[in-house]
Amino acid sequence: MTSNITESLNSILRDEREYPVASIFNSIAPRFGEIFRKRYAEVDNSKTTFIPVAETILRENMTKGDKLYVNNINESTNEFTVLGYGRSAKVNLSRQPCSCRKYDLVKLPCAYTMAALHLKHGDEYGTSIYKNPFQIYSKESYLLAYLEPICAAPLESEWSVAREYLEIQVLPPDVDPKHGRRKVKHVKGVLEPSRYKKRNKCSKCKRLGHKGTTCSLNVG
């Protein structure tokens, strides 16, 4: 099983992962430090309440929500039935879920929730959308995540290690190395699209599966 985070790290640390452990950390520190600095500055300079990606999703859902039909359930102020885009959804604003389950996955109001918020809050609709999403999308939470510096590993001579650990002899794992060139490419996950190998096409009989030099059909 693979993930986007794992593959992203593998792609930018393809060479560094062959280094000794201390060198790996010292290679990672400046690279990730620069990434953290850029992302911190990008969000800090933005004029939005939430991070730009979350703001884009909110605005898109607001536009989609304006095209939906909304109705109260049993005249409740927090329960709504929303129709549109070929389906219906039930929204409960007091518990903040929607039956489409998009809110459960990304923790941002979906188009159906936006339509219910618009009906409930009216003119204050534009500010009410920021009360429902989790605060993980706020600028303050994002900036805190990129606030801590990444320090380089000190020299081995400066390491402070307890004596009992110095006396432990760490042996490599007892494995039987396979013959041939070591595989460095990742193994595709179950959900990753597979690429079929291109089959040869004969230049004489035009059939697949062999070449013209091995064709058994005597074509003049």
CA 162 to chain centre: 39
The sign of the torsion formed by the CA atoms of 165, 168, 174, 178 equals positive
Distance spanning both ends of the chain, measured CA to CA: 52
Where residue 183 falls among pLDDT bands split at 50, 70, 90?
low
Query: Read out DSSP for 84-99?
Result: ETTEEEEEETTT--BT
Confidence of residue 184 (pLDDT cuts 50, 70, 90): low
Contact 114, 87 (CB under 8 A): no
Question: Per-residue pLDDT tens for 3-18?
Answer: 677 777 777 788 877 8
Q: H-helix or E-strand containing 85?
A: none
Digit-coded pLDDT (tens) for 99-156: 888 888 888 888 898 888 888 888 777 777 777 666 788 888 888 888 887 777 777 7
Q: SS3 breakdown of the chain: % helix, strand, coil, rounded to 5?
A: 40, 10, 50
Does the pLDDT value for residue 197 go beyond 70? no
Q: Is 50 exceeded by the pLDDT of residue 1? A: no
Beta partners for residue 69, in sequence order: 83
Sign of CA dihedral 207, 211, 212, 215: negative
Q: Answer yes or no: are the C-beta atoms of 90 and 81 closer than 8 Å.
A: yes
Domain ranges of the chain: 15-50+136-152, 52-132
Q: Which positions ≥6 away from 32 have C-beta within 8 Å?
A: 150
* pLDDT value of position 208: 81
Question: Which of 143-147, 208-212, 214-218 ranks highest by mean pLDDT?
Answer: 143-147
Backbone φ and ψ for 96, nearest 5 degrees, come out as: 65, 20
